[in-house]
Amino acid sequence: MSSKPWFRKSRSLSELLRPPRGFALTKAGTVFFSFLTAVIIVAMLTGNNLIFLIIAFLLSFMVVSGIESEMNIRHLDVDRSPSPEIYAGMPGEIFYSIRNPKQDSARLVLHDGGKINIAHIPRGVRKVFRQKRTFSRRGRHLLGNVTIFTTYPYGLFRKSITFDMEDPVIVFPAPIPCSPAVFAGNSGEGGGSGIESVSHVRAYVPGDALSSIVWKKQHLGLVSRVSQGGGGSGSVLVLHPGGDLEQKLGQAAFLVLEWWKSGVSFGISANSHFSGLGASMAHKAAVLKVLALLDRLGEPGIGNFPKGCHVVHI
């Protein structure tokens, strides 16, 4: 059996020896401890019992402050969830859900790439906060630990608790405006009559395009039309090698978003991957994820697309 690498051992040892709380004096705390030190020196030089009594009071005050600040953060429960759609170079939202099941928490500062000031969290109540984060590049990112600070109750020192968290984030390419007409191949590529027909209706699924909803049947519950055939049956974006990869992916992201907003079925073909056609929110997210994780472009391996779809080449 192979032994664990030395750097993993040292990392585990450092984590084991790491103090459970971060600690730092505030300006008020520095003044307090300076005064306490001066009183101790005077008491030792004079032997005055009253001064020793003052020292005992100051020490008890410090102990109470430490206990209160510990209870303020000890039982905190923190969850973090990134927004489902974050684009490179554009502010995206990160959501934080915080709860203290034991008691109220006050004067908290959450630090995770930025700072969120939290005035008060009632006991047992889960409150949600959010902040903007900007990622400079597309692709897969890993969010690190979350730290919460507090100066409660007397502001003598800043105590912190760190939550070991690793949340993956897929950052989509930044959309670059373009017109599909610039890249379009033959309009009728793939065949088709150019007339869209409705094959049937089905129960509404969250994410279906609003244009497909049959609003007149609301008394039966929302239903959606399912279309087939015709030149309007969908659009396929084909990505070819060459040129600026990031610009192509940005233009592809823009077209995907435009088609989704229009309620048009769409798909992409890149390398040997074909996403299929769809118009739901889940399909849009899956297509954007493929674009986010592409590191190279080769010749597209699929040339036969559904009948009647409109093909756009980049």
Q: Which tokens hold the place of 205?
A: 């699924």
Query: Once rounded to an integer, what is the mean pLDDT over residues 249-269?
Result: 92
Mean pLDDT for the chain overall = 81
Cα distances (Å, whole numbers) of residue 142 to 82, 145, 155: 11, 10, 34
pLDDT digits (tens, 9 = 90+) for 65-89: 989 999 999 999 999 999 999 999 9
pLDDT digits (tens, 9 = 90+) for 47-57: 888 888 989 99
Domains defined for the chain, CATH in brackets: 18-169 (2.60.40.10), 180-313 (no CATH)
Q: Identify the pLDDT of residue 182.
A: 58
Least confident of 59-63, 115-119, 193-197: 193-197
What is the Cα–Cα distance from 240 to 294, expressed in whole angstroms? 12
Q: Identify the pLDDT of residue 48.
A: 87
Residue 62 has pLDDT above 50, yes or no: yes
Cα distances (Å, whole numbers) of residue 65 to 29, 38, 97, 273: 11, 20, 27, 61
pTM: 0.74
pLDDT digits (tens, 9 = 90+) for 189-221: 443 333 344 444 445 555 555 555 554 544 445
Nearest-Å Rg of the Cα atoms of the chain is 30
Residue 228 has pLDDT above 60, yes or no: no
Residue 94 has pLDDT above 90, yes or no: yes
Q: How confident is the model at residue 311 (pLDDT cuts 50, 70, 90)?
A: confident
What is the Cα–Cα distance from 268 to 246, expressed in whole angstroms? 16
Query: Once rounded to an integer, what is the mean pLDDT over residues 267-293?
Result: 92
Q: How confident is the model at residue 272 (pLDDT cuts 50, 70, 90)?
A: confident
